[in-house]
Amino acid sequence: MADRRWLAALWWLGVLFLVQGLGGPRAQALPTPPAASELVLDAEFLAWRDARAAVRVGVSRDWRPIDVLDEQGRYTGLSGDLLRTLAGMLGLRTEVRGFGDYSELMAAARRGEIDLLPSMARSPQREGELLFTDSYVELPVAYVGRRGVTDFSVEHGFGGRRVAVERGSPVHELLRTRYPDAELLVVSDTATALKAVSIGEADVYLGALPPTHHAVEALRLDNLEVLETTTSELGRLHFAVSPAAAPLRDALDAALRRLDPQWLAQLAAAWQPRYLLLSPQRASGEALSPAQRAEVARLGELRVGFDQGFSPINAVGADGQPAGFAIELFRRAAGHAGVRYRFEPQSTFAAGLEAVRQGRLDVMLSAVRTDDRLQFARFVGPYYSAPSVLVTRLEDGWSTLEALAGRTLAIDRAHYLIPAIRREMPSVQVREVDSVEAALEEVAQRRAEAMITNLEVAASYINRSYLGQLQVSGTVPGRPSELYFMVRQDLPLVAQALRAGLDAIPENERAMLANAWLRVQYRSGLDWRDIAVVVGPGLLLLVAVLAFSLFYNARLQALVRARRQAERMLQLERDAARAATAAKADFLAEMGHEIRTPVSAIAGGLELLQREPLPAHARDLVRAIGRAADRLVELLNNLLDMAKLEAHKIALHPAPTDLGALVRDLAEEFAPAARAKQVALVARGTEHWRRPVMADAMRVRQMLGNLLSNAIKFTAHGSVEVRMLPPEHVSDGVRKLVLQVQDTGRGMSADVTARLFTRFEQAPGTATHYGGTGLGLTIVRELLGLMGGQVSVHSVPGQGSCFTVEIPLVLAPSAGEPGAAARRPVARLLLVEDGEVNQLLYAEQLRQRGFDTAVCSSAEAAYELLEREPADLVITDIHLPGMSGQQFALALRGRWPDLAVVAFTAEDDPDLHAAWAADFEMVLDKPQRVDDTHWIDMLCERFEPAPRSPAATAPRAAVSVWGELDAAAG
């Protein structure tokens, strides 16, 4: 009670100091400015200064105590007083203008309305738009949250916590790039951000402490505290000037260097308040007050559980007592907090988790914090983090989860990664087992290809039991094993006490525990225990013959060295083979792109030529050449996809997909080819699949397209039917797709169907008559393996064939029934494409959809065109002469921030698409056939042609640049 009265008195004392300084919120008197010294000013600066009446200064209206702009327009604060001193030294007159937030301030600077911006921290975006002086002050920076938070961490996008940021601030830019998964609450100023944290609309705020403290004191937000301090460029303040005011930047730097550093330090100290309300509550020494200790003691003895199969984090030692890093750390934290407890070992982690849920345990050690566990538990920590790793057999070596598509992954049934794996990689076959040791045994006994666990735990088990059998072959990026103490939800005092106890453990003591328990010593060969098992009986029999024993031991060691050398050589050869396969795939992909571009141009040119009035024999010749070009494109695509599948370079990217619409669209796409052979093509059952599922639409289209292409090719008369059977229930949220492609073609014998899915295999006589590579069905099988599905065939010679595809698919999350998203209107569209034929073809398709389209062939031509006549949308090839599409997009946005830029590429690598997605509005695949309009359908989902204004459609005396380009394009 006395402590609370003392804190209240201290708080009101802080408020009194604040109220005294409302007119000029100084914590103490400002130091006397330095005497004006002789400062030699550059002639360029003098000419710049004398050419204007005043320097236009832009500041945030209220970022006290750094920037203070009162109602009379008087600019003070740390930066204001410093600027006044520098202006006197340089003979400057200033005109100060206030802005509501950083985004408004930066927009004014871009428009050229501002010359000088004080109190600016550097950031990559600002570096490209402003020039910065030397820094003049470094402010402390910290994460601030509500008091009592026990589980703050910046990992996993702040663990699902919402972060409040000022719009357009460097923190806003930092969090969007470094933590893209973090949930942000974007507000206008520091005070609003801190109020949001205080009332629970946000959980954390990151910013400089002096303005943060000032807002906390002014608003009386006494439930906030510093959670963690950080070293960051965000705290270093500079003056920034527009590029047109470069002489001013040099003059300010010269004046700053003439200031006495001691005077500058006194100025900074005068404006930075003492920290009262915002003082961190976590300090070393006594963890809890006597009153708090008494309250904890009344709780009695806590039941503390741990997974005894999670060594060296926690386990049961040889003496039957609890042992491990987490055990020892908990003992020390409990000692500092005055907590009484007893350990209760759990046979599995799942059992301990359920015991906490049901209230049979109060605390569970070594748990990862997840959203579903937050429903029944609190978390204290994190106290330790290590990579989550993949463990495989020595002869395998799967390095990523994506590479396990269609294969079995063993995992502890309560592991926190199971929901993410099922959601993001449904083609991985997850086998849940009771414990880490059981998962390792599944891999060792070849019932699974890999398992996942903590690096320290994996190394411990392999060294004890699986040397020469298992290895750590890869990691799970962005998903570390970050461990906490998990406390029952209804025991908040226990969580606070353990948090205080953890913070009271000195850093050197933590380091000592980590060195004692967590030193990973991973070995892949045999150790002395294996050797002893082999030679022990022989040594006992020959102990009397010392000379022979020494000889035998030396020979055995030589054999072991030879074996290890052989293992190393095998590993080198395996790595070399994998590198060669990857190099081959990279070479084929690069050459494929180089070959596919001109071939596609040939096919497109032939399509355009067929639209011209030609004699009958010429039209037949063009049609024959077009068919040959289509076969060449198909051959090239099959070879490239097969090479990627061999090198494990095709990864699935599931997204919500309407399978019924996909099958209908694909049937319409293949209808012309079927009609040309007088074969009926029918799609049935698509109405059964109305709810979207998580699937890689591009790969599903490729798989089904190969089956349809084969069916039409081998059917001389009759029909080809695509049937979608009703969804089969597999489990909650998972349905099985059964899709059949049946034809009335020539059919196949049993010996042909037995080898039908073998690469380069074709039915006898078909290669000569029908052509092809024998890879289409092999690719179908491999793609289905990635999806966790399978394909089978039933065929009767002379009657036809039926291919049946089965795929388990996860239902897409229900999105309710929102209205259709508004499409962005496009009055002008610029296509940047260096292929002449592709220019004509793509531009014609865009114009047919109503887009007013112009074309050019390089970034330089596009930039010049946009300077003369603006556009709303630019579609650009990703590979341009002299500049990449990404560089081009960044250059465009630097000049025209509102311009939409879309990438257009023949690269079909989903990883590259994902990397480009951050720089473009969307990424479109170039069509592989002339009649493929999927790309323009995707474009029209986001953009629509804008109605032309009367001015745009009326005759003009002078032909515009757009008209010139249209005429040049033909």
- Lookup: tokens for 839: 């220019």
pLDDT band at 654 (very low <50, low <70, confident <90, very high): confident
Span(s) in the chain for CATH 3.40.190.10: 2-271, 290-517
Q: Which of 564-568, 586-590, 601-605, 711-715 has the lowest average pLDDT?
A: 586-590
Return contacts of 768-771, CB within 8 angstroms, 24+ apart. 770/713, 770/714, 771/631
Annotate 4-20 with b (16+ C-beta within 10 A) or e (fewer). eeeeeeeeeebeebbee
Query: According to the per-residue pLDDT averaged within each range, which of 126-130, 216-220, 376-380, 879-883 is highest?
Result: 376-380
User: What Å distances lie between residue 74 and 57, 94, 414, 907, CA to CA?
Assistant: 12, 11, 62, 58
Residue 526 has pLDDT above 70, yes or no: no
Task: For 843, list phi and psi in degrees, rounded to 5.
Answer: -65, -40
Measured in degrees and rounded to the nearest 5, phi and psi for residue 9 equal -65, -40
Class of domain 290-517: alpha beta
Assign 921 to helix, strand or coil.
coil
Beta sheet of 302-307, edge-to-edge order:
341-346, 302-307, 363-368, 481-488, 377-386
Q: Which fold has domain 2-271?
A: D-Maltodextrin-Binding Protein; domain 2 (3.40.190)
837 vs 650: CA distance, rounded Å: 30
β-pairing, 236-241 vs 116-120, is antiparallel
Q: How far apart are CA 824 and CA 121, in angstroms?
A: 34
For 397-413, write each residue's pLDDT tens digit.
788 888 899 999 999 99
Chain centroid to Cα 298, Å, comes to 46
pTM greater than the 0.75 cutoff: no
* pLDDT for the residue numbered 318: 84
Amino acid symbol at 119? S
- Residue 113 banded pLDDT, cuts 50, 70, 90: very high
Segments of the chain assigned to CATH 3.40.50.2300: 824-969
pLDDT band at 273 (very low <50, low <70, confident <90, very high): low
Contact present, 727 and 688 (Cβ < 8 Å): yes
Report residue 376: phi and psi, to 5°: -130, 5
3-class secondary structure, 922: strand
Q: What average pLDDT does the segment 271-277 reach?
A: 58
**What pLDDT does residue 762 have?**
56
User: Element (H or E) spanning 616, and its range?
Assistant: helix 616-646
More confident of the two residues 852 and 587 = 852
Confidence at residue 295, expressed as pLDDT on a 0 to 100 scale? 82
CA distance 790 to 653: 19
Helix ranges (H only) for 395-446 are 418-424, 436-444
End-to-end CA, the chain = 88
User: Per mean pLDDT, which range of 115-124, 298-307, 907-916, 917-926 is the poorest?
Assistant: 907-916
For residue 299, the tally of other CB atoms under 10 A from its CB is: 14
Q: Do 833 and 877 touch, CB atoms closer than 8 A?
A: yes
Structure tokens at 592: 């494929």
Could you tell me which residues come within 8 angstroms of residue 168 by beta carbon, excluding any fewer than 6 positions away? 101, 102, 103, 104, 105, 106
Kindly tell me if the per-residue pLDDT of 229 is higher than 70. yes
Give the mean pLDDT of 832-851. 87
- For residue 144, give the DSSP letter: E
DSSP 337: H
SS3 content of the chain, % helix, strand, coil (to 5): 45, 20, 30
| pLDDT tens digit sequence for 34-71 | 555 567 888 999 999 999 999 999 998 778 899 999 88
Contact yes or no for 588/638 (Cβ under 8 A)? no
| Mean pLDDT to the nearest integer, 525-532 | 46
pLDDT digits (tens, 9 = 90+) for 738-786: 999 999 988 888 888 877 877 655 555 454 444 455 677 888 888 888 8
CB 508 within 8 A of CB 447: no
Secondary-structure class of domain 535-649 per CATH: mainly alpha
Beta carbons of 113 and 57 less than 8 angstroms apart? no
Q: Which residue has the higher pLDDT, 641 or 450?
A: 450
All CATH 3.30.565.10 domain ranges in the chain, comma separated:
651-811
Low-confidence winner among 307-316, 760-769, 857-866 (lowest mean pLDDT): 760-769
Cite the residue boundaries of each domain of the chain with CATH code 1.10.287.
535-649
**Per-residue pLDDT tens digits for 116-175:** 999 999 888 888 899 999 999 988 888 899 887 777 777 656 767 889 999 888 888 888
Residue 114 clears pLDDT 90, i.e. is over it: yes
Instruction: Using the predicted structure, report yes or no on whether residue 25 has a pLDDT greater than 50.
Output: no
Q: How high is the pLDDT of residue 800?
A: 92
Alpha-carbon distance of 919 to 925, in angstroms, equals 16
Cα-based angle 812, 818, 824 (whole degrees, multiple of 5):
105
Lowest pLDDT segment from 648-657, 783-792, 804-813: 648-657
The rounded distance, in Å, linking the Cα atoms of 78 and 267 is 7
Portion of the chain with pLDDT greater than 70, in percent = 79
The answer to whether residue 952 scores a pLDDT higher than 50 is no
Which residue, 783, 601, 652, is CA-closest to 706?
Answer: 783
The SS3 assignment for 559 reads helix
- Reported as a pLDDT band with limits 50, 70 and 90, residue 724 is very high
- Tokens linked to 113: 């309305």
Among the listed residues 750, 735, 828, 760, the one whose alpha carbon sits nearest the alpha carbon of residue 796: 750
Mean pLDDT score, 862-887:
88
The amino acid at residue 870 is P
Residue among 140, 165, 673, 471 nearest 174 (CA): 165
In 3D space, the residue among 86, 51, 137, 54 whose CA is nearest the CA of residue 249 turns out to be 86
Residue 888 host element (H or E): helix 885-895
DSSP character string of 522-536: ---S--HHHHHHHHH
Compute φ and ψ for 753, nearest 5 degrees. Answer: -65, -25
**362 vs 468: CA distance, rounded Å:** 41
- The CATH number of the structural domain formed by 824-969 is 3.40.50.2300
What's phi and psi for 204, nearest 5 deg?
Answer: -140, 145
Q: Which two tokens stand for residue 356?
A: 């906490």
Does 684 have pLDDT greater than 90?
A: yes
Q: What angle do CA 641, 651, 738 make, to 5 degrees?
A: 85
Whether the per-residue pLDDT at 248 is higher than 90: the answer is yes
Tokens describing residue 622: 């063009």
Residue 237 tokens read as 């303040």
Q: Which residues fall within 8 angstroms of residue 456, CB to CB, at 6 or more apart?
A: 312, 313, 386, 518, 520
Q: 8: Cβ–Cβ under 8 A, 6 or more apart, which residues?
A: none
Q: How many CB atoms lie under 10 A from the CB of residue 563?
A: 13
Question: Any bridge partners for residue 571, and if so which?
Answer: none
Q: Name residue 408's amino acid.
A: T
DSSP 48-108: HHHTSSSEEEEEESEETTTEEE-TT--EEHHHHHHHHHHHHHHT--EEEEEESSHHHHHHH
**Euclidean distance between CA atoms 431 and 442, whole angstroms:** 9
Residue 959 pLDDT: 31
Q: Which of 263, 264, 251, 208 is nearest to 116 (CA)?
A: 251
Strand, coil or helix: 396: coil
What's the topology of domain 651-811?
A: Heat Shock Protein 90 (3.30.565)
Indicate the SS3 state at residue 167: coil
Where are the strands (E) in 394-439, listed by range? 408-412, 429-433
Q: Which band of pLDDT confidence, cut at 50, 70 and 90, is reported for residue 490?
A: very high
